[in-house]
Structures are given as structure tokens and as C-alpha cells.
Structure 1
């Protein structure tokens, strides 16, 4: 195939792509997409989390994780909207381990992973009025509690809706 023929094929394919994209933009989507971020207020590591099946990052104890694309939420908020949040924790993220890649390390990890805990909770999606979704921020609190926010500002900024401190301790007894 000569350069000119290859160029013509590329132009034809590019034109087809533009037609397809134009067809997609004719109707307004019923959903908004934004980054999926997490804030871990606990001393356990969050190995992974998901919201309605959209995967989020791992988060260190008392840390942040984010920028994972994408969380999809309805364009129009309605009362009663719920989110299913699932996550896995490592209650002992700083356990001293043998050198990585060794048989001892593999044996250690088999025993260590037995303590991982899986969690799932349904939470209310707070009201939002924006036409753009900056991000969905998931806050992991002690006693396996979760709060979510759709604010465009970052955790800790004035006006951010979730006020709990980043470093929270697990109480001796969790409320039922």
C-alpha cells in the first residue's frame, strides 16, 4: 500500500469516527462522570474499594487515594438515590515482612491475607445541583462507616461537607 492510499484510508476512518462521535453527542447523557477519590480516616489500609462497581484506588492509613476514572452518577439528583460501597481492609498494614519475592515472603502473605476484611454498605447519595461532577469522594470512617461527598473542593477546605478529622481512632465498642 502506498503512502497516499494509506493516507486516504486514515482520512476515511477519521471521517467515520467523526460521524460516530457526532451521533453520540446528539442526545444528552443521563449520567455525569467524575473521578473516584477516597479518604481513609482509619489506621487500617484500604486495599481497594468500589462504588456501584466502579473501582477505586488503594488508600494508606489516614491517607488519600484518588483520581481513578470514573464514577457515574445520574445527571439529575433525586431523593432516595443510594450507592453500594465495597472495600477490603488490611488491619495490620505495617506488619514486618520477609524480603519481597522470597518463599518466606509468600508464606508470610498467605498468613497475612487471612486477616483482610471485606465490607459492603449501602449509603445515601447526598444532594448535588451541579451539571458537572468533579469527583465522588468516599470517606472511610471507624466502625466500618462510610460517608460520601460530591463537592468540587478538596477534603479539609472551608465549606467541604465532611468534617471528621483525618486521623480517627477506632472506639473500644462500635455503635450498632
Structure 2
């Protein structure tokens, strides 16, 4: 994806949804097969953004699992199978997260209703290697996006609105989050070729 405009438009179409669903179901099938000889457990990926109502995450990836649009309201977007987690957490576990941000602070509603998204600007494309925080048992894999190109990855069986969930819902900064590196493309040509041939990352 080269612009927030294109990403937003794609992620609001049936084509984008079907493409992401196919990617997720394929990953799930592969992960289920791998469980024969490993301790990996397939888990759903859910994206949550804390940047506020002027921003959305138009697409994101965690390793080889892709998520869809995370809306300006904050979360619930990108709920798609699958990533894979060990049954027991181990120190040093990380994931590569890539994401693109859409900036709606200058939106022109009349243009948008006419499917003209030129008023939506790119808030940046980012990539980060992120620690997977300690868990007692594998649950849904939550990817939290914060202002300033920052991200955290948490596995939990609690919903994000549960009072015991470790990150409060809503706009906020987080000093413990990993800072992403700005990139020109979410995937290089070499990485896209690897993805097509089934190589990891």
C-alpha cells in the first residue's frame, strides 16, 4: 500500500475483505497442520487503536497474519484468523508488526460520500519488532497501536473492555510501547516474493 487513501478504499470493499479472509483461513490451515509436531496454538488477531477519532489503521500485519481496517472508534477491526502462539510463554518471544495509519483530521465529508478520499492523508507506514508480553495461556492476540507510531502485542482471553484487561480502552499514549520505524512500503518486493512462495516474513 502506497497511501492511506488507497488502503482505506480497499479495506472498505468486499474484495479486500475476501482477500484478507482467504489469507487468514490459509494461515489457519497451515498452523493446524503444524500442531502435529509442535506446541503452537492458532489464535485470532484483533487490532485496537488508541490514536483517537482522527485516525484509523487502514491495514496491519503481525508476522504472516493480516488484519483489516481498525476504525476511528478504536477497535474490533482486523479480527481474523490466525497467528500461532506456543502453549507456554517463553522469554524473548517477538513478532514483526507492520501497519499504515490514515489521518482524517482534514476530512471532507461531501467528497468522501462521493468516494473521493483525497482529503484523507497518510499518517505513516511503520514496522516494528515487538515483544509478545507474558501470558499464562494463549488467547486472542491483541495488537495495540498508539500515537507516535508505537505498538504493543498482548495475548489474552479477556476482551478489551473487561476491567482486568491490561490496557485501558480509548485514546492514550503508552511509554512502554515499542516505537516503530517509518517505512516507504509495508513489504519490500523481496518480502512480497517470500510471502508468495510461503517463506516466513
Normalised TM-score (structure 2):
0.59
Q: Per the alignment, do residues 118 and 32 of structure 1 end up closer, same or farther by CA in structure 2, a change over 3 Å counting?
A: same
Deviations, residues 82-111 of structure 1 (Å, cap 9, x unaligned): 11111011112771126546xxx3xxx4x5
Which residue of the partner structure matches residue 72 of structure 2?
61
Deviations, residues 56-89 of structure 1 (Å, cap 9, x unaligned): 1211124211421111123332111111111011
How far the C-alpha of 1:118 sits from its partner, in A, is 0.7
Which residue of the partner structure matches residue 51 of structure 1?
62
1:168 aligns with 2:159: no
In structure 1, the residue corresponding to 2:122 is in which secondary structure? coil
In structure 2, distance between residues paired with 1:127 and 1:91: 32
Which residue of the partner structure matches residue 183 of structure 2?
none
Match of 1:29 among 10, 15, 38: 38
In structure 2, the residue corresponding to 1:150 is in which secondary structure? strand
Contact 1:51 1:83 in 2 (8 A): yes
Q: Per the alignment, do residues 94 and 54 of structure 1 end up closer, same or farther by CA in structure 2, a change over 3 Å counting?
A: farther
Unaligned residue ranges in structure 1 (runs of 5+): 1-23, 170-174
- Of structures 1 and 2, the larger Rg is shown by 1
In structure 1, distance between residues paired with 2:136 and 2:37: 17
Q: Once superposed, which parts of structure 1, at least 4 consecutive aligned residues long, lie more than 6 Å away?
A: none
Aligned length: 138
Contact 2:145 2:151 in 1 (8 A): yes
RMSD (CA atoms): 2.8
Match of 1:38 among 40, 44, 47: 47
Which residue of the partner structure matches residue 21 of structure 1?
none
Match of 1:90 among 98, 102, 106: 102
How far the C-alpha of 1:156 sits from its partner, in A, is 2.6
Contact 2:139 2:157 in 1 (8 A): yes
How far the C-alpha of 1:25 sits from its partner, in A, is 9.3
Contact 1:42 1:62 in 2 (8 A): no
Q: Give matches, 1:143-158, under 5 Å.
A: 143-158=148-163
Q: Per the alignment, do residues 37 and 26 of structure 1 end up closer, same or farther by CA in structure 2, a change over 3 Å counting?
A: closer
In structure 2, distance between residues paired with 1:94 and 1:113: 7
In structure 2, the residue corresponding to 1:126 is in which secondary structure? coil
Deviates more, 1:64-73 or 1:41-50: 64-73
